[in-house]
A and B are shown apart, each in its own frame.
Chain A
Amino acid sequence: MMTAVIQTSGLGKQYRRTWALRDCTLAIPEGRVVGLVGPNGAGKTTLLQLATGLLTPTRGTISVLGEPPAASPAQLARVGYVAQDTPVYARMRVADHLRLGAWLNPGWDDELAQRRIGQLGLDPKQRAGSLSGGQRAQLALTLALAKRPEILLLDEPVASLDPLARREFLRSLMAAVAEHGTSVVMSSHLVADLERVCDYLIVLVASRVRIAGEVTALLASHHRLSGPRRDPGTLPAGQDVIEESHTDKQSVLLVRTGEPIHDPAWAVTPISLEDLVIAYMNPASDIPARRPQLGVVS
């Protein structure tokens, strides 16, 4: 059986009367680069903070690398986390950040940290507050990577970066994944970026997991059908309609099915990851009567 790096069961977090996350059951396999997508306020940051141990669950359970989050200093050392807006200490120099990292982390890889700072062309004497957004993000990533974590949790790491800085960030992230085999969970709105780097996807909408699974499996099981107008209720069992639009003559459906589509009336086209994400994020697709099998795909 494949090891799960993050396993949750019925996980929920409530703030006063609002559920930030509920009924979240996931098993994220090892060695994946996971894209966590969803509208603002869907629960992405809550899920990441539950995984770090910064938040404690109201309901259910979560384990990260086989242990409860932040169960021990040893468990903490295996998890790297970069919070939203890639925080660094503005008054501290780049070199001070590395010294602090070395002092706080028993498994600190100073060679890796120094090498990355050199490759990025960062001046060790420069104060972090005067770095560009892209450089700050790279410094924060360097600190997280030099811990040599087994899993890296990144909350919107590229949201505030220009396209060039974003690409550079993803390049160095992917190089680190290739070198160390680190698992990554990364929230982002930028589906085009996720399409390049992610092999596992989780879509969170309104505090719930709408869909989760391997990207190749998700793309293989979703199709766009277009053909003469038809009531989606007449589709064969096992074809779940995620999204539909109709004119007086034509129907266009996005369906999820494990079976091939044989009906010759349909023109079948594959969908992109972006189409899939948008379809699941659309609140109109949440029709209870025909609600597809959501939740866990393992």
Chain B
Amino acid sequence: MIEFQLDETSGVATYLQLVQQVHQALRMGMLEPGDQLPTAQQVVAKLAINPNTVHKAYRELERAGLARARPGLGTFITRSPSGTDPATQARFLAAMTDWLRSARSAGLGPDDIEAIYRTAFRACFAEGAA
């Protein structure tokens, strides 16, 4: 079961933060089809938010076809967003971690590394769009 967090400074609506965290957890393989999401009561007892906010987030996930509410049981993940294979995810996460370690041992600081990443990211996706 996943645990939701809240970033009050992000300016992102609370229900949307919950939706995004489910997407993120699916991408990272922390949630899989069949897994249960925490009940509204569990979420609000931890985050001190309005239960309707949790219901809204879960409705949004249902609309996207990612989750389904089973009356009396809870809300369950039905499928992953398309194109996210957990094994592939894990492979690239490992490669990225190796790359970051070698960049750091070459003397690059976090700001340098982030600048390189952003430049490469932009270049890559600009290519893709062209």
Contact = CB atoms under 8 A, between A and B. Distances in A.
Contacts, number: 49
Contacts of A167: 48
A178 B48 contact: no
Interface string B45-63: 1111111111000000000
Interface string B31-42: 000000001110
A195 B10 CA distance: 13
A179 B48 contact: no
B44 A177 contact: yes
Contacts of A272: 11
B14 A178 contact: no
Interface of B: 6, 8, 11, 14, 39-41, 44-54
Question: For the complex, would chain A's binding face be called helix, strand, loop or mixed by DSSP majority?
Answer: helix
B7 to A, nearest CB: 12
Given A171-B46, A174-B50, 6 more contacts: A171-B48, A178-B41, A192-B8, A196-B50, A198-B50, A199-B52
Contacts of B8: 192, 195-196
A196 B48 contact: yes
24 contacts: A31-B52, A33-B50, A170-B48, A171-B44, A171-B47, A171-B48, A172-B45, A173-B48, A174-B44, A174-B45, A174-B48, A174-B49, A174-B51, A177-B44, A177-B51, A178-B40, A178-B41, A178-B54, A179-B41, A192-B8, A196-B8, A196-B49, A196-B50, A197-B49
A104 interface: no
Nearest to A177: B51
Contacts of B49: 174, 196-197
Interface of A: 31, 33, 167, 170-175, 177-179, 192, 195-199, 272
Chain A CB count within 10 A is highest, among B6, B45, B46, B54, for B45
A195 B9 CA distance: 12
Contacts of B48: 167, 170-171, 173-174, 196-197
B72 to A, nearest CB: 15
Given A192-B8, A196-B14, A178 B46 contact: no
A177 B49 CA distance: 10
Contacts of A179: 41
Contact of A171 (B14, B40, B45, B52): B45
A254 B14 CA distance: 23
Contacts of A170: 48
A253 to B, nearest CB: 20
Contacts of B52: 31, 33, 199
A31 B55 CA distance: 13
A197 B51 CA distance: 8
